[in-house]
Structure 1
């Protein structure tokens, strides 16, 4: 008791905030900056990986090409993605989760720039405006994000896992998840918001478990072994399970909806769930000034808007035509359409044959 009183008096003399929880500490600026740099580099590598895979798929789509998984360049992209995700994982051990998650907009910005420079996609005005908004939002996030974080130990994770705030949040999340899953599976409500909300609810558990695992590994590397506690392996199981189901629902969303819709909405939902998870579980906004909170949320809003502008209506990379251009055949006139529209109801269906028979019957009646 005397030691805690002395520490409190010393903190007051140093001008530090003594109202924050005992586990919250002011991390050295170098460690905080290291987490930001690792996250930015990891997202940049992910953007390079995505564009390498996109380039490989386009090149392998040409006639006579081998499958994409036999290409060494595609495997280089997969390796880069693994390194980038590993960097994001490590960044959670140095910086707050509410900051690392929004920095995912770096991947969207870098991917747009790389696709224009190397894949020769069209640079649009919305790309420039969206990039400017996303960069501004990222600057506000880094500047006004909470600089206080915890030394993530097994005892800290155990105490937070049984706190009334997190238990209330977990129960509400489970109720909402079950309702959405019922609507999606039983009522066949295949709406993009429903699917991506399922992904976001799972993502909140992923963020909590990833930060816990990464933090305990970081503390173990510093000399305080945390891998002997059961809570570490519980968090590993939660991390793997939530990631697996999250990928499952996200793949279903990519099958049903266009990527220009999935990317911005998923980024907004994932970031919001990560921020809420950091606030509820790790109490990252505890003691933060109201101005900092407002500017942080404003930075998130700018990043959301920037990602939306960059991702909407992205131009598709042209591939070779699957049909013959009649304008290239000598003696033939160039026509606008050389094959039926595949999206029409009558294309290749029984209705086309019925319409053809009716038309033929009508012509026979007219002739008689």
Structure 2
């Protein structure tokens, strides 16, 4: 990493409305080299926003049922099923986004769910808009813009053979061994010493999440290539990644549910968002080498955008008052949704729905 090359300065000038090969900012070389990545960004942002809408619809259904003299089970409500359908669509979109954009870009976009829920709850649940929501939303949107602008461009096709090579590369093997050692130490304190501190629980979730996002991106990319006509589903590594995705996600839900049970949502959501996003970015850097040829300024601005997003989530989640309804809220641990979406929807959105 070093000083920005002239070609990259030119591409940024094009992206901000400078001279390009066509008539507009999206007709120049920047768009031609980033259009696949932009598709992943738009898909991830739209999916996370759809998730926030779906969860607000579900809570609205629960509140309506709680006000009835003879409340019916929540699964008898058409409004609740409408929310579940939208949730499923959002999770599928989140999964697909990993096939088009880098992990370092898709994972932080989970913040869209947080700010989306904060503002949508004003319409669905008649809540009062706070100054903290506006400030947090502004910080998060600014951070997201910087992340999208300065995110690494990884045009490589993630074929099954390339994924196999990454699995046996020494950087990943060292990272995997260190991760296993740290996880075993945390698990020892959790099981043997009964240490259930929020940092211990969410660090185990983050370590598992790093494996989950690696597997999700590999599976999504191989499916995308197969749909385009380059069959990748006949390789054993595809099914290995599916198993890894399912197992790591299942254990994430276990430890995350424990954290949600022991601590307030306002504490779990921002800490878990930071841990999850950081672990996802690190795994993308090590396994998929997403920042391998990035300029120093690009890395700095991207990390600064992440910092603003983290700060925005903390501001939105801070000092929220929790509400309790008579009918239990939906148990996300039993919904068969996608691996990464399971983590994002539960961690990052419940803050604005259960407060």
TM-score computed with the length of structure 2 as normaliser = 0.81
Matched residue, 2:48? 43
1:345 equivalent in structure 2: none
C-alpha distance in 2, partners of 1:34/1:257? Answer: 37
User: In structure 2, do the counterparts of structure 1 residues 217 and 89 end up closer, same or farther at CA, with 3 Å as the change threshold?
Assistant: same
**1:301 equivalenced with 2:320 (yes/no):** no
How much has 1:64 moved relative to structure 2? 1.9
Aligned length: 298
Contact 1:43 1:106 in 2 (8 A): yes
Correspondence for 1:210: 216
Match of 2:93? 87
Within the alignment, does 1:262 sit opposite 2:274 as a pair?
no
Matched, 1:72 2:72: no
Q: How far did residue 80 of structure 1 move?
A: 1.1
Whichever of the two has the greater Rg, that structure is: 1
**Shift of residue 317 of structure 1?**
4.2
The secondary structure found in structure 2 opposite 1:217 is helix
Alpha-carbon distance in structure 2 between the residues aligned to 1:239 and 1:319: 33
| Cα offset, 1:150, TM superposition | 2.1
Asked if 1:140 is matched to 2:146, the reply is yes
The runs of 5 or more residues in structure 2 that have no matched partner are: 1-5, 9-30, 327-355
CA contact (8 A) 2:57 2:124 kept: no
> Over residues 338-363 of structure 1, what are the superposed CA-to-partner deviations in whole Å (9 max), with x where a residue is unaligned?
xxxxxxxxxxxxxxxxxxxxxxxxxx
**Counterpart pick for 2:62 among 57, 60, 67:** 57
Task: Summarize the Cα distance change of 1:158–1:318 in structure 2 as closer, same or farther, 3 Å threshold.
Answer: closer
Give the TM-score, by structure 1 length: 0.78
Equivalences for 1:90-109 in 2 at 5 Å?
90-109=96-115
Q: Secondary structure at the match of 2:50?
A: helix
Q: Aligned partners of 1:15, 1:123: CA distance in 2, in Å?
A: 44
Q: Which residue of 1 aligns with 2:350?
A: none
**Structure 2 residue 194 is matched with structure 1 residue 188:** yes
Aligned to 2:333: none
- 1:126, distance to aligned residue in structure 2 (A): 1.1
Distance 1:190 1:144, change over 3 A: same
- Equivalent residue number for residue 115 of structure 1: 121
Partner of 1:361: none
After superposition, give the CA deviation of every residue in 1:115-147 in whole Å (9 maximum; x if it has no partner): 112211121111111111000000000000001
- Residues of 1 paired with 2:183 and 2:271: CA distance? 18
User: Greater relative contact order: 1 or 2 (C-alpha under 8 angstroms, separation 6 or more)?
Assistant: 2
Q: 1:318 to 1:182 in 2, by over 3 A?
A: closer
Question: Which sections of structure 1, spanning at least 5 residues, go unmatched?
Answer: 1-13, 17-25, 321-368
Please show how residues 217-366 of structure 1 align to structure 2 within 5 Å: 217-317=223-323
Q: Distance in 1 between matches of 2:324 and 2:258?
A: 25
Contact 1:149-1:284 at 8 Å conserved across structures: no
User: Which digits, 9 at most, give the CA deviation of each residue in 1:302-326, with x for residues without a partner?
Assistant: 0000001111222334769xxxxxx
Separation of aligned partners in 1, 2:310 and 2:232:
37
